[in-house]
Amino acid sequence: MNILSAKSIQAEADCPPIGNIIQVGRAQVHYYEKGTGPAVLLIHGASGNIRDFNFGLIDKIAKTHRVIAIDRPGHGYSSRLNLYGESPRQQAQIFVETANALGVETAIVAGYSLGGIVALAAALDFPKFTSALLLMSGVSHPPKGKAGWLYTLAGSHLTGPLLAQYIAAKMPIKLIEEKIASVFQPQSPPEGYLKDIGAGLALRAHTIRANARQVVTLLPHIHMMQERYADLRLPIEILHGDLDKSVPAAEHADRLAATLPHAKYTRLSGVGHAPHHVAQEQILQALVRLQKQVDAL
C-alpha cells in the first residue's frame, strides 16, 4: 500500500460518512438530513463537505425545517460527475435530482461560499424547485484576481494529477491550520473544528483535483450567469461578513444586492468568511423571513 492510499484510508476511517449514500444516475451522492417540515437544502463551499454545517446550524434549522445537506461532487463522499470541472449548473442539477429522489419537490436553497454560485444556478435553472434563496458569504460575481497558482496548477490537465498527489502526500498540518484560521478571521474556528470537519478528506488526491477543476473553470460560468441575475424574482436573503477576505463583500454581495433590489441584504459587521458558524442567529432570522414569503406566495 502506498502513502497516498494509506492517508486516504486513514482520513475516511477518522471521518466516515455522517449520512447516507444514494445512487443518482451514475453519481454516488452523500447526504445528511434531519428534521421535518419545509425543506432547506444546504450547499457547502470549496474544499469542504457537509460536516461544515454540523456545528450547530443543522440542529437549529432542523427545529423548524427538514434539512438536507449534500456533499458537492468530488467532495466528502460524493463522486465526481466528470473530469473537467463540474459547472454550477451541473452541481445544482445533481442536488435537485437527489432531493427529488428523497421526495422533495421544492426547497429553500442555501449556499455558503462557492456553494453560493451553485445555489444561484439552482434558482436560475431550476426555478420550480427553488422556492427561495439564502446566500451566506456566497460567490456571485467574477473576482478581481485570478485563482491562486496552486489552484491553477492543480486544476491543469498537465500538472494537476502529479501535483494533487504531491499535495496529498506532503501537505503539512500546520499549513492547513493556518488556512482554516485565515478563513475564520477575525473570528476563530470552533473547538475541534479541524478534526471534525475531516481535513484529511479534502486532502485526498481526487478531491484536490475535483476542487481545483471546479474553481479554475468557474469564471466563464459566472460571466454568463450574472447576466441573468436581474431576472430572479424569488425571495432572496444575502448575508455577508464585512471583513470577509476570502470572498469580499464588495466584489460579490454588494454587487448582487445592487442587481436585486428586492433581496434583503444583511452586511454582518465584524464577521469574516464563516457566518454559518459565527452568525447562526442572523441566518435563522433570515430563514424565518424567507419562509414567511414562501408561505405567502
Nearest to 207 by CA among 92, 113, 71: 71
pLDDT class of 102 with cuts at 50, 70, 90: very high
Task: Give one word for 74, left, alpha or beta, with left for phi > 0 and alpha for psi -120 to 50.
Answer: left
- Strand duo 27-34 + 39-43: pairing: unpaired
pLDDT tens digits for range 15-52: 899 999 999 999 999 999 999 999 999 999 998 999 99
Q: What percent of the chain has pLDDT over 90?
A: 71
CB distance 141 to 256 below 8 Å: yes
CB contact set of 51 (below 8 Å; sequence gap of 6+): 15, 18, 76, 196, 197, 198
CB contact set of 132 (below 8 Å; sequence gap of 6+): 108, 109, 234, 235, 236, 237, 290, 291, 293, 294
Q: What is the DSSP letter of 190?
A: P
pTM of the model: 0.92
The mean pLDDT value of the chain amounts to 90
How far is it, in rounded angstroms, from Cα 259 to Cα 155? 31
CB distance 136 to 120 below 8 Å: no
pLDDT at 72 over 60: yes
pLDDT class of 14 with cuts at 50, 70, 90: confident
pLDDT at 153: 46
pLDDT tens digits for range 127-156: 999 999 999 999 999 987 655 545 554 445
pLDDT at 236: 98
The domain total for the chain is: 1
How far is it, in rounded angstroms, from Cα 14 to Cα 35? 26
pLDDT tens digits for range 191-242: 889 888 888 888 888 888 888 889 889 999 999 999 999 999 999 999 999 9
CB distance 8 to 204 below 8 Å: yes
Nearest to 28 by CA among 101, 89, 81, 88: 81
pLDDT at 288: 98
Alpha helices in 102-140 (DSSP H): 114-125
CA angle (81 as vertex; 75, 85 as ends), nearest 5: 75
pLDDT class of 173 with cuts at 50, 70, 90: low
Specify the DSSP element, H or E, that contains 260.
none
CATH number reported for the structural domain that contains residue 63 in this entry: 3.40.50.1820
pLDDT at 122 over 90: yes
How far is it, in rounded angstroms, from Cα 189 to Cα 175? 15
pLDDT at 167: 57
Range of the domain at 23: 3-296
Residue 204: other Cβ atoms inside 10 A: 21
pLDDT at 256 over 70: yes
pLDDT at 78 over 90: yes
How far is it, in rounded angstroms, from Cα 32 to Cα 30? 7
